[in-house]
Amino acid sequence: MTRYEELAEQYGTPLYVYDLDRITEARRDLRTALPDEVEVYYALKANPHPQVAGALRDDNGPECRAEISSVGELAAALTAGYRAADCLYTGPGKTDTELDEAIGKGVRTFSVESFTDLQHIGAAALRHDTVARCLLRINSATASATTSIRMTGTPSQFGIDSETLADATPDLLAVPGTRVVGMHFFPLSNARDEDSLIGEFQHTIETAARLAADHGIPLEFLDIGGGFAHPYGAPGDRPVYRQLRAALTAALDAHLPRWREGAPQIAVETGRYQVSGSGALLSRVVNTKVSRGRKFVVLDAGINTFGGMSGLGRLLPVAVEPETTGAADAVELDDVASLAGPLCTPGDLLGREIALPRLEPGDLVTVPNAGAYGVTASLLMFLGRPAPVEVVVQDGRVVSASRLEHHRSPATRA
């Protein structure tokens, strides 16, 4: 019996298994790929499990900070041991209630998506008799990479259009309760290759230096975003970026020559790169059927468990591997079927007409590279099915097993 089979017998399925040792390896690889002076922010949206997020805090070296987009993520970050004062609060829909709670708990640094967003942050800071440090998130009119998931250069709820800064900057710098300290860019996600990632970072650094010089934007802090890639829900290894350190150093030296002195402090942010490879999703085949010539393999895990964003067409298809005792040979994908979950909706598909191993009811399968965008990125409450158990292992031992619970509580008036 394999280790995964043992865990599935003990905790049932669907079941997530997170290996903290793999997170440590990913953290080490990322630090090696970056100049020593660059700060790293972990995006809790990738996986807010407190032990997963906590494993990225390095008590014996450069500290990883937390990027959050809600007070729920703030609570998760605090539970994982991050300090509120070191968190970067982002997102286009910050409400007054959320801002009051975040500032009240000690968050002081915010990414700003618009002039009105900045005004809301400033008003909340004044209510708490403090000043918020703010980064102007920039929606640059140009970009470098032509592949990957683009996050800039189009009309968007994210960021301030770069071409409006000439007129907008005086007002942005004068909002009571705020102090603009720099800029935030996030031009792409999941870069297809190292050249694309390097090219985007080079373009971002050049753009930031030019905008600061042209418009008088303070540049004490520059977040150049992410784009670090990792296979998701399919076999594959984490990329190792061998050229990035030298390329980033050269670009920063060319455009921001005092960056080594912290003028500005440079930061990157990443989620999937650090945690995707740590996780596996275990699921059992519930049924197989043929409908009008098409085969369906039905699992006990669907979009309520993994990849709730798959309805957007971004995460299809996943790959599954049979978990069998002594399986040492390569898996033969000699069947074609649609991989369905247990929900009462035709949208509960993890893959349409994909190559699969031959599976029968009761078989245990593994979805690899499932440590990011799993439970909390899924349609967890749809149909009221229980959340999967999440098991955390380290050095081959189970260190925790838990399950998110959803229940209805009395509400108080706002």
Tell me what pLDDT residue 244 has: 98
Distance CA 4, CA 344 (A): 28
Q: Considering the chain, tell me which residue range(s) the CATH 2.40.37.10 domain(s) occupy.
A: 5-11+277-404
Q: Render 209-269 in DSSP notation, one character per residue.
A: HHHHHHHT---SEEE---------SSS-PPP--SSHHHHHHHHHHHH-TTGGGTTTEEEEE
CA distance 186 to 188: 6
pLDDT of residue 320: 84
Separation CA 389–CA 412 (nearest Å): 30
The predicted pLDDT at position 307 comes to: 75
Classify domain 5-11+277-404 by CATH number.
Answer: 2.40.37.10
* CATH H superfamily, domain 20-275: Alanine racemase (3.20.20.10)
**Predicted local distance difference test score (pLDDT) of residue 311:** 46
Residue 277 near residue 47, CB atoms below 8 Å: no
> Looking at residue 332, what is its pLDDT?
83
Longest distance between any two alpha carbons in the chain, whole Å: 68
Instruction: Name the burial class of residue 302, with classes exposed (0-12), middle (13-18) and buried (19+) by CB atoms within 10 angstroms of its CB.
Output: buried
Please give the chain's pLDDT, 414 residues, in tens: 899 999 999 999 999 999 999 999 999 999 999 999 999 999 999 999 999 999 998 666 567 999 999 999 999 999 999 999 999 999 999 999 999 999 999 999 999 999 999 999 999 999 999 999 999 999 987 665 554 455 565 767 889 999 999 999 999 999 999 999 999 998 888 898 999 999 999 999 999 999 999 999 999 999 999 999 999 888 999 999 999 999 999 999 999 999 999 999 999 999 999 999 999 999 999 999 999 999 999 999 999 999 765 444 454 567 888 886 444 456 788 899 999 999 999 889 888 888 899 999 999 999 999 999 999 999 899 899 999 999 999 999 999 999 999 888 898 876
Residue-wise pLDDT tens digits, 171-225: 999 999 999 999 999 888 889 899 999 999 999 999 999 999 999 999 999 999 9
Q: Where in the chain is the domain with CATH 3.20.20.10?
A: 20-275
pLDDT at position 53: 97
